């Protein structure tokens, strides 16, 4: 079986490669498109750092697709590959390149792998719900070559992925608390500059897997970062003045935090389960999908339904 045989296909902003494409061994436009899409400079690539759609699952797909494209275009056996960032995309890319016989080294600014999501119990993550109402969006599990996971809180997903990572981690050098100040390409090699003045031999390829990153705090009294545990949906235990919250943004995270503030005992998992089992949503799925395909925004579609 080809290493990345089971990645899924979706023509949306970034190319997520089809099963039949991945099985090809001849040079294909799809492979060239992926490399052009992710290339920052010769030998330097990013994994979704500029994409609008950043989910756990899509970042893993990007990582698999990029590694597959590098392998098909250049070969990866014995090539030196540096991967910057040990979030889900970075670990996925590292594992894929390692199993293709590349000499992989990992660099992380923090002190551990998956530093943002480990231990998080407040953010429920479903691998495919972002694609609703498209086929497959109700499946609660990924179908990747490895590092698969079920819908769960982010900390539980991190735990399951790290269990799989630990099976190969001793074979891959991992360097923590390393801040890279510059990545440059010269004469077909990639060079890394470090804040502490240390150096490494040049690499054939470098992948920047910065992932979600940390938000910029508005002030020292700001609420915790998105992936830090908070108490928004827990009862107040002491008499305090009524607090005023400012929720910034209009994405799924901001909308969910607004719901958590307004609904007692709100459970994200229950909302997702209810939606995916609700006959009305399924009866309208085709109409909504057609409207989105015809250029309507999701906002306009929801207004049609009086939402």
Task: Tell me if 51 is assigned to some domain.
Answer: yes
Question: How confident is residue 9, by pLDDT bands cut at 50, 70 and 90?
Answer: very low
Task: Tell me if 217 is assigned to some domain.
Answer: no
Q: Are 43 and 205 in contact (CB under 8 A)?
A: yes
Task: Tell me if 89 is assigned to some domain.
Answer: yes
Total domains, the chain: 1
Does residue 7 register a pLDDT over 50?
no
DSSP structural state of residue 307: -
Question: Pairing state of beta strands 44-46 and 39-41?
Answer: antiparallel
pTM of the model: 0.84
Question: How confident is residue 222, by pLDDT bands cut at 50, 70 and 90?
Answer: low
Question: What is the pLDDT, as a whole number, of residue 265?
Answer: 87
**CA geometry: angle 239, 222, 108, nearest 5 deg:** 135
- Our CA dihedral for 175, 178, 183, 188, rounded to 10 degrees, sits at -20
Task: Tell me if 201 is assigned to some domain.
Answer: yes
* CA-wise closest residue to 191 among 181, 179, 203: 203
* CA-wise closest residue to 207 among 227, 186, 180: 180
Q: Are 80 and 204 in contact (CB under 8 A)?
A: yes
Residue 235: how many CB atoms within 10 A of its CB? 7
Task: Tell me if 287 is assigned to some domain.
Answer: no
Task: Tell me if 231 is assigned to some domain.
Answer: no
Question: What is the pLDDT, as a whole number, of residue 8?
Answer: 34
Question: What is the pLDDT, as a whole number, of residue 292?
Answer: 75
End-to-end CA distance of the chain: 46
**pLDDT tens digit string along 161-211?**
999 999 999 999 999 999 999 999 999 999 999 999 998 999 999 999 987
Place of tokens 């150096």: 199
**pLDDT tens digit string along 122-138?**
999 999 988 877 778 88
* CA-wise closest residue to 74 among 27, 19, 21: 27
Q: Which CATH number fits the domain that encloses residue 139?
A: 3.50.50.60
Q: Which of 190-204, 226-240, 267-281, 282-296 has the lowest mean pLDDT?
A: 282-296
CA atoms within 13 Å, Cβ hemisphere of 39: 14
**pLDDT tens digit string along 254-264?**
889 999 988 88
Task: Tell me if 268 is assigned to some domain.
Answer: no
Task: Tell me if 299 is assigned to some domain.
Answer: no
Q: In which order are the strands placed within the sheet that holds 44-46?
A: 39-41, 44-46, 205-208, 80-84, 103-108, 174-176
Domain containing 133: what range?
10-208
């Amino acid at each position: 079986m080809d290493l990345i045989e089971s990645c899924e296909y979706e023509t949306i902003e970034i190319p997520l490669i089809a099963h039949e494409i991945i099985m090809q061994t001849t040079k294909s436009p799809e492979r060239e498109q992926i490399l052009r899409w992710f290339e920052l400079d010769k030998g330097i690539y990013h994994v979704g750092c500029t994409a609008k759609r950043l989910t756990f699952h899509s970042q893993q797909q990007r990582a698999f697709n990029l590694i597959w494209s590098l392998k098909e275009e250049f070969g990866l056996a014995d090539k030196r590959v540096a991967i910057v960032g040990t979030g889900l995309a970075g670990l996925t890319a590292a594992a894929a390149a390692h199993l293709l016989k590349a000499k992989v080294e990992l660099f992380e600014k923090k002190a551990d792998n998956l530093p943002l999501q480990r231990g998080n119990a407040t953010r429920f993550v479903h691998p495919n719900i972002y694609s609703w109402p498209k086929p497959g969006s109700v499946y609660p599990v990924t179908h990747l070559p490895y590092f698969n996971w079920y819908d769960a809180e982010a900390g539980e997903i991190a735990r399951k992925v790290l269990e799989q990572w630990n099976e190969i981690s001793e074979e891959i050098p991992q360097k923590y608390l390393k801040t890279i100040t510059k990545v440059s390409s010269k004469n077909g090699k990639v060079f890394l500059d470090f804040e502490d003045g240390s150096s490494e031999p040049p690499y054939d390829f470098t992948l920047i897997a910065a992932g979600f990153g940390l938000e910029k705090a508005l002030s020292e009294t700001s609420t915790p970062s998105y992936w830090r545990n908070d108490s928004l949906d827990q009862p107040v235990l002491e008499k305090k003045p009524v607090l005023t919250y400012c929720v910034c943004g209009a994405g799924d995270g901001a909308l969910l935090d607004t719901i958590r503030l307004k609904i007692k005992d709100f459970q994200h998992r229950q909302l997702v389960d209810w939606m995916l089992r609700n006959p009305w949503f399924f009866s309208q799925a085709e109409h909504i999908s057609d409207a989105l395909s015809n250029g309507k925004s999701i906002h306009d579609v929801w207004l049609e339904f009086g939402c």
